[in-house]
Amino acid sequence: MSNITATAVSGLPRVYELSRAELGRWCEEHGIPGYRADQIRRWIFGKRSNSFPEMHDLPAALRGLLAESFSLFPGKLVDHRVASDRTEKLLLELTDGELVECVLMREPERRTVCISTQVGCGMGCVFCASGLQGLKRNLTTGEILEQVLRLDRLLPREEAITNVVVMGIGEPLANLKALLPALESLNDKGGLGLGARRITISTVGLPEKIRELARLGKAYNLAVSLHAPNNTLRTQLVPVNDKIGVDAVLQAADDFFEVTGRRVTYEYVLLSGVNDGPQQARELAKLLQSRIAHVNLIPMNAVTELSYVEPTAPRTQEFVRVLEQFGIPATVRKRKGADIDAACGQLRLHQLQTAAVTSPELVVLTPP
């Protein structure tokens, strides 16, 4: 994995790549009082500043030094789409030319952002657009935060981000090293000040990484992408399951619950005729019956390149009914931004495909 991170980025580092403590040290090394770090971070996280010169309560020399040493938003906005439900999606080009997606979703009382943690994904889930071209590299802490900060700047002054879901492109637990400091800055009072309970990390289910997350003592929410109630079906849909197995995933999730006291959500994508039958609902219910769990059913979000489709509404309702019969709370995820390719990885994929027509050096998509 280290060679993946090593290829990362070019140009000046984003100033928020540094934690509060690191920025404080940087200040001190340059003969600047440490409290200036708080001021700088307030401009970025609180006052939505877009440039160093406008940070007018900092001495001019410091503003100059910051501009020489750091960048703020070096990503290039390649596409910005607004859906009819006001979901907004950004496609950002990173300094090495890689593409990354992030989404802002609005509900009456919530503004949730969905962020990516990797360029592409190595997990290979057969229904997901993000992994169709494999994993390119991990994102850095700054690249993860740039997504949140840019989406935050789309909101009017009186509104703030209320929730963050790490459910964009990539497997977050395969990049904990960069993700955790980013979440720390979101959680930090001098950062975005977002409660840990408002941050959800979705994982394919990497047992040791789930335990590592639990040991942090943070109240982050964990969502585990189960998608099937037995190994045969899960391995077919989520190939990494072959090396892990449903039992090991559930045991790690149990440990997470035991250590953190946080109820685990199990995500289950509903694929018509594949994993959406009442028999599978019963099998899933039996698996989760003894656990404090919640099931989030995600009707398949159509991906042009893939043949999986969502089940009919009555079949979905039947699945929910069976789970509820067994006392398992279940919800069906509402679709957001359906008219703007908002399912994770789709916009990037389509951009790559368009680019492939004109730039032969880019990988041309070969659907499985």
Indicate which residues carry an active-site annotation: 101, 344
Report the distance separating Cα 118 and Cα 355, nearest Å: 20
Any residues with CB less than 8 A from the CB of 2 and at least 6 apart, and which?
Answer: none
Based on the shown chain and the rule CB under 6 A, indicate whether residue 40 belongs to the binding site for ligand SAH. Answer: no
Q: What share of the chain is helix, strand, coil (3-state, %, to 5)?
A: 40, 20, 40
Nearer to ligand SAH, 25 or 315 (CB): 315
- Which of these, 168, 170, 48, 176, lies nearest to 105 by C-alpha position? 168
Can you say whether residue 120 is alpha, beta or left, with left for phi > 0 and alpha for psi between -120 and 50 degrees? Answer: left
Q: Which segment (24-32, 63-71, 286-294, 297-305) binds ligand SAH by CB under 6 A?
A: 297-305
Among 26, 45, 52, 127, binds ligand SAH (CB under 6 A): 127
Report the distance separating Cα 123 and Cα 106, nearest Å: 29
CB of 232 to ligand SAH, least distance (A): 18
Nearer to ligand SAH, 74 or 170 (CB): 170
Nearer to ligand SAH, 52 or 268 (CB): 268
CB of 89 to ligand SAH, least distance (A): 14
How long, in residues, is the chain? 368
CB of 165 to ligand SAH, least distance (A): 8
Give the torsion sign (CA, 285, 269, 334, 310). Answer: negative
Based on the shown chain and the rule CB under 6 A, indicate whether residue 298 belongs to the binding site for ligand SAH. Answer: yes
The token duo for 21 is 């403590």
Containing 76, the helix (H) or strand (E) segment is strand 76-82
Angle between helices 176-187 and 141-152 (to 10 degrees): 40
Nearer to ligand SAH, 129 or 328 (CB): 129
Number of residues located near ligand SAH, criterion CB under 6 A: 18
What residues numbered 189-208 form the site for ligand SAH, per CB under 6 A? 202-204
φ/ψ of 179, rounded to 5, equals -70, -45
Report the distance separating Cα 279 and Cα 258, nearest Å: 29
Nearer to ligand SAH, 225 or 275 (CB): 225
CB of 221 to ligand SAH, least distance (A): 12
Among 40, 58, 300, 352, binds ligand SAH (CB under 6 A): 300
What residues numbered 337-356 form the site for ligand SAH, per CB under 6 A? 343-344
φ/ψ of 237, rounded to 5, equals -90, -35
First CA to last CA distance, the chain? 25
Based on the shown chain and the rule CB under 6 A, indicate whether residue 101 belongs to the binding site for ligand SAH. Answer: no
User: Are the beta carbons of 213 and 220 closer than 8 angstroms?
Assistant: yes
Among 27, 94, 102, 128, binds ligand SAH (CB under 6 A): 128
What one-character-per-residue DSSP string does 316-329 give?
HHHHHHHHHHTT--
Residue 310 DSSP one-character state: P
Nearer to ligand SAH, 70 or 127 (CB): 127
Q: Which segment (9-17, 150-158, 190-198, 294-302) binds ligand SAH by CB under 6 A?
A: 294-302
Q: Per-residue x/- marks for ligand SAH, 216-255, CB under 6 A?
A: ---------x------------------------------
Among 143, 267, 276, 341, binds ligand SAH (CB under 6 A): 267
Containing 253, the helix (H) or strand (E) segment is helix 246-260
Based on the shown chain and the rule CB under 6 A, indicate whether residue 303 belongs to the binding site for ligand SAH. Answer: yes
- By CB under 6 A, name the binding residues for ligand SAH: 123, 125, 127-128, 167, 171, 202-204, 225, 267, 269, 298, 300-301, 303, 343-344
